[in-house]
Chain A
Amino acid sequence: MAASYLPENVLNERRTVTYRSLSRALKVHATLAKQMLFDFHRTENAKKPQSVHATYVISGIQKPPPPPETNGHGANDEDAIMQSSPYMPSSMPNQDPADAVRVTSIILTREENLEAAKSTFESVSTIHVYSVQPTVLQDLNVLTDVSRETWSAHVHEDPLEFGKQWGMIQNTHVQRRTGTRPPAPAPAPAPAVEAAKTSESTVPAKRPFQEEAPPKKADERASKQSTPASDSQSSAKPATKAAPKREKSDLFSSFAKAKPKQKKAEDVVLDDASEEEPEELFPDQGDKKTEPANRESRKEREEKLKQMMENDDGDDEEMPDADEEEPPREPTPPVEAPPKPAELKEEATVQGGRRRGKRQVIKKRTVKDEEGYLVTREEATWESFSEDEPAPKKKPAVQVGKGKAGKGQGQGQGQGQGNIMSFFGKK
């Protein structure tokens, strides 16, 4: 895997790989990842010039730039002015003159500009490869998307555990509250889906889901015994394998992540929900072509989506609801009465023994309309409530069922429509 990751992603998939995404994907130290990128860049370009482009990070002390930015270095002349300090003429023998502040720089540059960039440095402390990509990056900001993708793909990997592996500076004093982040569930389902995906890319739609446990192992196998397995596979079916692999690293793990980790994933949800909504309609359409039975369910779905938007107060306790509504978006939605927006509903989740949730209430709202009239309307709004009595512990059950259902559909859908998943995955 280690050996094939870069060619697959950069050459076949034409993706940008940064040292951090590499380090995360292969679970290697950042330094090693930088060296791998360098090595890859050199060998590929030796084979075929200009096939791989790189960006570099230079750190060191830059020459003081000529006219504009005289930060720090300009302090001298300013101090000269200072001597006449207007506030306290009597108490001024004080400033350290020439408080020469050292300015060090960490600059990201394209391969093409590397020498030019280096020439602006007085002394260079470090240069390392930041990323490699098949084309020249017109806009370096693309790199942030890569890291964001990486971040969301690996969000379930606890940095406190893996940080050492990546070469993060360790802090022995870090305090994190337990209980906020569900530690266990995240990794388990992710590999499950993932492994199912890699091992069989053509899964029959209705498949029993007993492989909860084995896939996990399978995944461990897949990721751990990296090189031999992937080498043998890559020779067998290089092209097809590339796709699932890729999905494995981002789509599926992020898909899985959305489910068990309501809290952690929430912001991702909010974020992408707003941006990717339009795209989300496409998978639906795709569904319909294959399964016309879904036609009316789509309306329901939209209604639910809308309702979700209404609910979207940014509460943590949102997510379970969202999850429950997620299955309908899959090709085989359970027959479920569409929730009427008008009727007063109540949704509650139990968390830490406290029952919280939202209920719909009719509220009178008086607003001034465009013509300046006061209009009073009755509106159904959602308000959150919480009760201290512990409600029946229904959440674990829900989660299990949900996990299964979600996975089942994930697999069912997996055949031939892998990319649809990405939309749900981001969700």
Chain B
Amino acid sequence: MVSETTDYGFLRPPDNTDHEPAYRVQSHYKPLHTFRLPAGAGRHYKQQYGDMYFLRLAHLKPAVEKVATEAWEGFNIAGEHARRVDRVLDVRQGELCWVAGTVYMDLPLKPNILDDLTKENFTSAPPPRRTYVDPSNPALTEIMMEDESGRLRLTGAGLASTHLATGAIIAALGTENSNGDFEVIDIKVPDLALQPRRWAGDKEGKATRPGKIAFVSGLGITGTSSDTLALELLSEYLLGYTGFSGDTENSPSADASTITRLIIAGNSLGARIVTELDSDNAPGEKKKAAPKKYGYDAASYNASPITHLDNFLAEILPSIPVTIMPGDSDPANFSLPQQAIHRAMFPQARAYATAPPTAGEIDPQAGWFDSVTNPWEGDVEGWRLWGCSGQNVDDVLRYLDFTGDDGEEDDSDARLRIMEAMLRWRCGVPTAPDTIWAYPFQEDDPFVLQSCPHIFFTGNQPKFDTRVIEGQIPLHLDGDGGDDTEMADAADTSSARVRLLSLPRFGETGELVLVDTETLEVEVVRFGVFGGQ
């Protein structure tokens, strides 16, 4: 029995007190449709991917050149001034210069489309590999810089201090050696893009109570009962049935009514469904009364994961708006940007979504239940969010070898570092057309971060982690020595602060991440069962 000392308001006989209904803080929400692909006939896959690199370089080269010019203006070694070179092919041997271009990394284990074609492997997605590098033979890793004119192999000590991935746009300072390789002395990246002010994308002001944005990823619903208990607790918490008592002194944590919105960052369905089904089918399953089936095979299609997800959503939607992004195990297209999970998947939850767009209607108002793309960008409570379900970080991680540092347990930190690097590269999915399947964009590379988000999140990471990064504060101190408030203002506009969130898989950790809408402080709520047995 429970000790009678304290009853927490629940461990006592019923009384007839009236329970005041709690009201949820309103959510201000404005998704951006950066990653929405043209529907139907407007979507073509015949284009070449080269355009994406071209567009990315064209967009980011000025930015990186600006950074590089500021840094390397007047840089000289032994009286030789660094000269800016426009194209990588114009680099002259023995001459100190700097040049901007796209990084291309050739790694021994990187999937190669030509190999796949020759082996007739081209029909299905390549099996994921843990890494593309071959730690036993680091010499096989080649880093090159390319632009529309050609390629230049990079070598040298300057590279050792940095980690790069294909698709990043950098400027490198150095000199070409006798082998024709470019000896790198220093590297610059575009650094954080301009960050909009809070509420910049919104006319309506900050008229709300402070609230919290909830992030969860990797719900991993497989349809078996074993994975749903934590989910059950999660929905009860979000609905306000369970959780923390009202008294603030020993429950500092969030009252669930302050949570304005739940963002589900991918992999809501467990990835193991397919293999389970395979093993189900393989042994002599009793095939009763099913001589021949037309259409889809009902025996191999298990609707229960998506049904559970739909139930979960339908349960919480009456109380909290939800934004759901697909992940690589969700029923959406595989190549990035993954398009929204179709509303037909959610027979119940879709009542809360917007009506199907009628012809001619371009941009319907965002629904209460918003099934969005992956990656996704949008304004929530005035903050700009940019998030991906994890493919971007996972893939860049395969380019890099972090095991050297102190064992591979440092993984999570590596993931935050990759996220930071992406922001500084101004490219959310740098490896996109190379090792992540992507749509061949023609007019625009949406993976380039046009503006710096306030919250940059990545789903389905092994564990939770977070950090705040700041942009470089440009040295504008030389100016007109105004008073302090002006200085503060200037700093406020020029230095971006970004909250990085590496979201754990809920299915494994049971963790929900809450971000305060005023301070961007983070806290974690963990759901679980005590004592596994």
Chain A residues with a Cβ under 8 A of chain B: 19-20, 23, 29-32, 34-36, 38-39, 42, 45, 56-62, 71-72, 75, 78-79, 81-82, 85-91, 94-96, 99, 101-110, 113-114, 116-117, 120, 123-130, 140-145, 147-148, 151, 159-160, 163-164, 166-177, 180-181, 263-264, 266-268, 270-271, 274-275, 302, 306, 309-314, 316, 379-382
Distance of A125 from chain B, by nearest CB (Å): 4
Contacts of A102 in B (CB 8 A): 252-253, 523-524
Report which of B354, B417, B524 forms a contact with A103, defined as CB distance below 8 A. Answer: B524
The answer to whether B26 touches A173, judged by C-beta atoms less than 8 angstroms apart, is yes
A–B Cβ pairs within 8 angstroms, 14 of them = A23-B241, A35-B14, A72-B464, A87-B421, A88-B189, A88-B191, A99-B467, A129-B11, A163-B319, A169-B240, A174-B317, A174-B319, A177-B354, A309-B293
Distance of B531 from chain A, by nearest CB (Å): 5
Distance of A388 from chain B, by nearest CB (Å): 13
The answer to whether A125 touches B352, judged by C-beta atoms less than 8 angstroms apart, is no
The answer to whether B347 touches A266, judged by C-beta atoms less than 8 angstroms apart, is yes
Q: How far is the CA of A101 from the CA of B511 in the complex (A)?
A: 13
Chain B residues with a Cβ under 8 A of chain A: 1-2, 8-15, 19, 21-24, 26-27, 71, 161-163, 189, 191, 225-226, 228-229, 232-233, 236-245, 250-253, 256-257, 289-290, 293-296, 298, 302-304, 307, 310-311, 315, 317-321, 344, 347-348, 350-355, 367-368, 405-406, 410, 412-413, 416-417, 420-421, 424, 463-472, 504, 509, 511, 522-531
Contacts of B307 in A (CB 8 A): 267-268, 270-271
The answer to whether B424 touches A160, judged by C-beta atoms less than 8 angstroms apart, is no
Q: How far is the CA of A169 from the CA of B239 in the complex (A)?
A: 6
Report which of A123, A130, A163 forms a contact with B318, defined as CB distance below 8 A. Answer: A163
Q: How far is the CA of A264 from the CA of B350 in the complex (A)?
A: 11
The answer to whether A20 touches B526, judged by C-beta atoms less than 8 angstroms apart, is no
The answer to whether B225 touches A314, judged by C-beta atoms less than 8 angstroms apart, is no
Residue of A nearest to B240 (CB): A169
The answer to whether B472 touches A127, judged by C-beta atoms less than 8 angstroms apart, is no
Taking A108-B233, A116-B530, A169-B320 as known contacts, 11 extra A-B pairs with beta carbons closer than 8 A to each other, sorted by chain A number, are A38-B10, A39-B13, A82-B467, A86-B161, A113-B531, A126-B251, A129-B10, A169-B24, A174-B318, A381-B294, A381-B295
Using known A-B contacts A59-B243, A170-B24, A267-B347, determine if residue A114 contacts B252 with beta carbons closer than 8 Å: no
The answer to whether B424 touches A310, judged by C-beta atoms less than 8 angstroms apart, is no
Report which of A31, A60, A105, A180 forms a contact with B528, defined as CB distance below 8 A. Answer: A105
The answer to whether A106 touches B413, judged by C-beta atoms less than 8 angstroms apart, is no
Distance of B196 from chain A, by nearest CB (Å): 20
The answer to whether B295 touches A310, judged by C-beta atoms less than 8 angstroms apart, is yes
Q: How far is the CA of A174 from the CA of B245 in the complex (A)?
A: 25
The answer to whether B413 touches A81, judged by C-beta atoms less than 8 angstroms apart, is yes
The answer to whether A171 touches B467, judged by C-beta atoms less than 8 angstroms apart, is no
The answer to whether B12 touches A103, judged by C-beta atoms less than 8 angstroms apart, is no
Secondary structure type dominating chain A contacts? mixed
The total number of A-B Cβ pairs within 8 Å is 317
The answer to whether B228 touches A104, judged by C-beta atoms less than 8 angstroms apart, is no
The answer to whether A95 touches B467, judged by C-beta atoms less than 8 angstroms apart, is yes
The answer to whether A177 touches B232, judged by C-beta atoms less than 8 angstroms apart, is no
Using known A-B contacts A86-B163, A274-B303, determine if residue A35 contacts B465 with beta carbons closer than 8 Å: no
Q: How far is the CA of A75 from the CA of B351 in the complex (A)?
A: 41
The answer to whether A128 touches B257, judged by C-beta atoms less than 8 angstroms apart, is no
Report which of A45, A127, A175 forms a contact with B368, defined as CB distance below 8 A. Answer: A175
Contacts of B406 in A (CB 8 A): 81
The answer to whether B253 touches A159, judged by C-beta atoms less than 8 angstroms apart, is no
The answer to whether B242 touches A128, judged by C-beta atoms less than 8 angstroms apart, is yes
Distance of B307 from chain A, by nearest CB (Å): 5
Using known A-B contacts A126-B10, A169-B319, A175-B352, determine if residue A143 contacts B256 with beta carbons closer than 8 Å: no
The answer to whether B11 touches A106, judged by C-beta atoms less than 8 angstroms apart, is no
Specify which of B347, B468, B509, B528 lies most central, judged by the most chain A CB atoms within 10 Å of its CB: B347
Contacts of A23 in B (CB 8 A): 241
Report which of A117, A130, A141 forms a contact with B225, defined as CB distance below 8 A. Answer: A141
Q: How far is the CA of A180 from the CA of B367 in the complex (A)?
A: 15
The answer to whether B530 touches A113, judged by C-beta atoms less than 8 angstroms apart, is yes
The answer to whether A127 touches B8, judged by C-beta atoms less than 8 angstroms apart, is yes
Q: How far is the CA of A159 from the CA of B250 in the complex (A)?
A: 31
Residue of B nearest to A93 (CB): B470
Q: How far is the CA of A420 from the CA of B3 in the complex (A)?
A: 45
Contacts of A101 in B (CB 8 A): 464, 466, 522-524
Contacts of B257 in A (CB 8 A): 169
Distance of A49 from chain B, by nearest CB (Å): 10
The answer to whether A35 touches B10, judged by C-beta atoms less than 8 angstroms apart, is yes
Q: How far is the CA of A310 from the CA of B293 in the complex (A)?
A: 6
Using known A-B contacts A95-B467, A126-B243, determine if residue A176 contacts B368 with beta carbons closer than 8 Å: yes
The answer to whether B243 touches A106, judged by C-beta atoms less than 8 angstroms apart, is yes
Q: How far is the CA of A275 from the CA of B471 in the complex (A)?
A: 55
Contacts of B290 in A (CB 8 A): 306, 309
Using known A-B contacts A270-B303, A309-B293, determine if residue A173 contacts B27 with beta carbons closer than 8 Å: yes
Distance of B261 from chain A, by nearest CB (Å): 11
Distance of B409 from chain A, by nearest CB (Å): 10
The answer to whether B241 touches A274, judged by C-beta atoms less than 8 angstroms apart, is no
Contacts of B22 in A (CB 8 A): 169-170
